[in-house]
Amino acid sequence: MPLNFKLGLCQLPVTAEKIVNLNNARRAVKEAASGGCQLVALPEMFNCPYGNKFFPAYAEEFPAGETINILAHLAREHSVYLVGGSIPEREAENLYNTSFVFGPDGNLLARHRKIHLFDIDIPGGITFKESATLSAGDTVTVFDTPFCRVGVAICYDIRFPELSRTMALMGIHLLVLPAAFNMTTGPAHWELTMRARALDNQIYVAAVSPARDEKADYVAYGHSMVTTPWGDVLVQADEKPAVLTADIDLQYLCRIRQQLPLLKHRRESVYHGIGRGFKEYV
């Protein structure tokens, strides 16, 4: 039986000054750990403004990057599992939107590179093309803790149900999602999407956003939240900086799966091959 534990989500303000962002992360992780959180998560692109013009300048290489080393130190200093939001990562000629995960000993447990790049065009709303600077990852990311198995995805990844279902079938009980939905997609889809992925897969979903800055080029929605395996909202922040905490009850998750055994009732023989050869009709 998995163990219950306390989760901390750090909704951070993001500025153009990397050192300010890193200091904000230090304070927030310390606050979460001091409050008893055993797993702590930071937002997407927490060390730099979200934008293609910023990603190359702020990019770091593993393992020598300043942010990467600070994340390892924070995990070790506070003896927590730390999902380090995401940062721009450079490897050779490629840039990635990458989440580094460290254990309480400061060692790297996982590295998730955003699989689905945010290339959208909503007239009157927002146009953005991550692929102009970033490359896509191609690996499903899970890691183990004494409490449960945890999956990691980044922002736009959550819109693809196949990914979260794959992680659920790999045994996760919690999906941690550093994410920066914006003021077009956030009000429309933020809560709906997190609740849907949690309900469909009977997992907890913890989505952690940057705090909202109305003066930024890209304005994040905020509203970091945790949704339950029943599809309820367990806790949710507003748009301002916050350290949000949640008690993750894995006995509750197990009861839900026993009472409504969705994952056991799947009929893969019926689904097999459906969707292959998909053609877009516009």
DSSP string, 220-256: B----EEE-TTS-EEEE--SS-EEEEEEE-HHHHHHH
Q: Where are the beta strands (DSSP E) in 117-203?
A: 119-122, 126-129, 141-144, 149-152, 174-178
Selected catalytic residue, list 37, 48, 148, 155: 155
pLDDT at 142: 98
pLDDT at 280: 57
Q: Give the number of C-alpha atoms closer than 13 A to the C-alpha of residue 242, restricted to the C-beta side.
A: 18
Q: Is the pLDDT of residue 186 over 80?
A: yes
Q: Give the number of C-alpha atoms closer than 13 A to the C-alpha of residue 135, restricted to the C-beta side.
A: 12
CA distance 189 to 191: 6
Considering the chain, what is the average pLDDT of its residues? 96
Selected catalytic residue, list 44, 60, 89, 239: 44
Q: Is the pLDDT of residue 281 over 90?
A: no
Rg (CA), the chain: 18
Cβ pair 145, 9 in contact under 8 A: no
Q: Is the pLDDT of residue 194 over 90?
A: yes
> Closest Cα partner for 3 from 277, 247, 270, 193?
247
pLDDT at 254: 96
Q: Is the pLDDT of residue 164 over 50?
A: yes
Active site residue 44: yes
Selected catalytic residue, list 48, 114, 148, 191: 114
In which band, very low, low, confident or very high, does the pLDDT at 262 lie, cut at 50, 70 and 90? Answer: very high
Active site residue 114: yes
Output the pTM of the full model. 0.96
Q: Is the pLDDT of residue 282 over 50?
A: no
For the chain, percent of residues with pLDDT exceeding 90: 94
The CATH superfamily label for domain 5-265 reads Carbon-nitrogen hydrolase (3.60.110.10)
Active site residue 155: yes
pLDDT at 83: 98
**pLDDT per residue as tens digits for the range 91-120:** 999 999 999 999 999 999 999 999 999 999
What φ, ψ does residue 39 adopt, rounded to 5°? -130, 130
In which band, very low, low, confident or very high, does the pLDDT at 272 lie, cut at 50, 70 and 90? Answer: confident
How many CB atoms are located within 10 Å of the residue 98 CB? Answer: 24
pLDDT at 21: 98
Which amino acid is residue 157, in one-letter code?
A: D
